[in-house]
Amino acid sequence: MARTMATIIVLSLCSTLVAADWSGAKLTPEEEAMLQYLNNLNKDLSTYYIYALLALAGLVLIYRSVLRLVAHTRHLTSMTGSGGQRYFATASSTMGWIKDHVLYAPTFRHKRATEIKFSQHVNLGTIPTRFQTAFICACIAYNVFASVWNVPWGDAEQTVLKVLGDRTGILSVANLVPLVIMATIKNPFIQMLDISYDTYNLMHRWLGRLCVLEAVVHTAANFIIKIQKKGWASIAAWLGRDFILHGFIATLGFLVLFLHSPKLIRSLAYEVFLYVHIAVAAVTFAFLWLHIKYFPCRPLLIATMAIWAGTRLWRFATLAYRSWGRQSCQAAIQVLPGDALRISLSTPRPWTFKPGQSIFLTIPSVGWHTAHPFSVAWTEFSEPLSRSSSLRSISEKRPTSRTHELEVEENGEQSFGLIVKAKGGMTKKLLERVERDGGAEGAIVNFKACIEGPYGSEKSMSSYGTVMLFASGVGVTHQIPYVKDLVEGYANGTVATRRITLVWVIPSTDCLEWVRPWMHEILGMKGRRDVLKVVLYITRAGLSQPIRSPSETVRMLRGRPDVAAIMQKEAAEKEGAMGVSVCAGGGLADEVRRVSRVLCAKGVNLDFIEEGFGW
């Protein structure tokens, strides 16, 4: 909600600037002549740049469409018999090499999700994949080429600087369009291209760095020209002109955005970073609007501001629709062992949830300005939630089988289950509030809530004959919906999956309480014993602590998993194509990625999916 207020403030500021736009000083005849020359030289530069990005998106769309067609064909043929499973069990050596060395490979060696840390509190983030690095390098190369192409290098130095400065200024504005699109979770290309929001966020940061660098080059080139012509003494009077001052302030705004955006600052206080980022961006856009009044790239800034404002309003409309109706959204929150919370959200309107999706949750009485993303672990239908009802009783009222596309039962209520691990910020405040109001562990406290979503593209696992799901800690909330969906599909004969293995790594057996009612229901589903195997690894179990496996299909072990041995054994016994998903800390995620690459290189038809494990 606070973000919506920020949007309204920004829109008001922009409206004021538009109204006052034409009061600025006019250009001198010399500047008008140079502007005409530069516009003729660079008139199509920004257009070609946008077309190049759209062409790249088109190529990715074609590639993703082919993959979807292959997955659909594999799904249909593998359900009918073992012939389809055998056909899709192996992959070509070429595709295996591409997955091993390009698509799934980290930029350097084996670490991708493991964060680079100088100390406990100094975190520099993670390393991208080689494919992501190649895209980043391609964007940098294109911007460098566009900056220097057709520059009259043989002319006078001041002419060269003027052309170079103008070129980089135009490119800085042109980069704002994809920059803003990639920043919003409402990005339509997430679903269209099946690329995760984390990847778009990575590209957003790199495009932002390009914008800042080009703005600095643009400003520096014009400063050098002025100093060469009239010396340092003329700078103060020059900056007093509206046209120059507006551009200089916009460049300073870009620099502030760059300097306060490193991972270290974002992780210390994300909400503070976010609102400062929005405010500084608004001021920067405002002065940039005034600065480029006479330039043909101004429509790109209009598009940027329209996209930003439109997506923010769209998000608010989604929040209002999901949270308010004849009844408001309610959150029943229960304290669990291990500083965790189980949240059951009852919504005023039904909506379809698919495995792998997430929502943004706001508890106004705890932090009205904070919207935190969480994976949806469970969905169910029940009677309206009361203060005396427990999450366990809700679970017992629900039928054990239904179709994947959820539809509301008449006179029933849809609810969503989340698991929250309290670390800091909003989650820590929420835990303290529930403990204070609820008292004993297990008591339920009700809050009014606001939710927004669902977000994230659907990565269906139903076409794989063999599915392996890895999780650590609360990462299991991402995997449970897949387990439930695949077991239901197996019983109904609607999926190709014949083997499901869930590997969950937790510090103690207390963590089992987090998902006990949901796993209890899954283990009671029809056909579960034929298809599902659950392996739990307890990393901090003492030698005196008894560890007993409930059955052959649900095993509990001490220590950490030998990922290579587990995956190689499963690959040797697999049916059909293999889908591997991981939602875990950096060490486990990187090891699953490494072994997946090894199997791809050996000819196993394997798709690797990594879900971000953090904020």
Helix, strand and coil in the chain, % to nearest 5: 55, 15, 30
Q: What are the C-alpha distances in Å from 22 to residues 153, 249, 291, 576? A: 36, 18, 11, 66
Return the CATH class of domain 7-43+136-317: mainly alpha
Taking only the tens place, the pLDDT of each residue in 521-541 is 999 999 999 999 999 999 987
Residue 240, burial from CB neighbour count under 10 angstroms (0-12, 13-18, 19+): exposed
Q: Mind spelling out the 3-state secondary structure of 564-595?
A: HHHHHHHHHHCCCCEEEEEECCHHHHHHHHHH
Contacts of 88 by beta carbon, 8 Å cutoff, 6+ apart:
74, 77, 78, 465, 576, 577, 605
Per DSSP, helices labelled H in 493-585 are 516-523, 528-531, 563-573
Distances (CA, A) of 204 to 198, 207, 311, 455, 574: 10, 5, 16, 18, 39
Quick check: 338 and 514 in contact, CB under 8 A? yes
Pairing state of beta strands 532-538 and 554-558? Answer: parallel
Which class would CATH give 325-455? mainly beta
Q: How far is CA 397 from CA 66, 382, 391, in A?
A: 42, 6, 10
For residue 411, the model assigns a pLDDT of 42
What is the token pair recorded at 468? 């392996």
Query: Residue 440: which residues within 8 A CB-CB, separation 6 or more?
Result: none
Cβ contacts of 31 within 8 Å, gap of 6 or more: none
What does the pLDDT read at residue 400? 38
Q: pTM value?
A: 0.87
Q: What is the pLDDT of residue 71?
A: 93
pLDDT at 602: 94
Return the residue matching tokens 């997506």.
311
Sequence ranges of the domains in the chain: 7-43+136-317, 48-98+459-615, 325-455
| Fold topology of 48-98+459-615 | Rossmann fold (3.40.50)
DSSP string, 84-151: HHHHTSB--HHHHHHIIIIIS-BSSTT-SSSPPBSSSS-B---PPBHHHHHHHHHHHHHHHHHHHTT-
pLDDT (tens digit per residue) in 62-100: 999 999 999 999 999 988 777 788 889 898 999 999 999
Q: What is the reported pLDDT for 305?
A: 92
DSSP string, 395-427: HHTS-S---SS--PPTT-EEEEEEEEE--SHHH
Helix pair angle (425-438, 270-291), 10° resolution? 140
Question: How much is the pLDDT for 135?
Answer: 92
Distance CA 155, CA 421 (A): 63
DSSP secondary structure letter of residue 349: S
Which residue ranges in the chain fall short of pLDDT 70?
1-41, 43, 119-122, 382-412, 439-442, 542-546, 613-615
Q: What pLDDT is attached to residue 384? A: 46
Q: Is 526 helix (H, G, I), strand (E, B) or coil?
A: coil
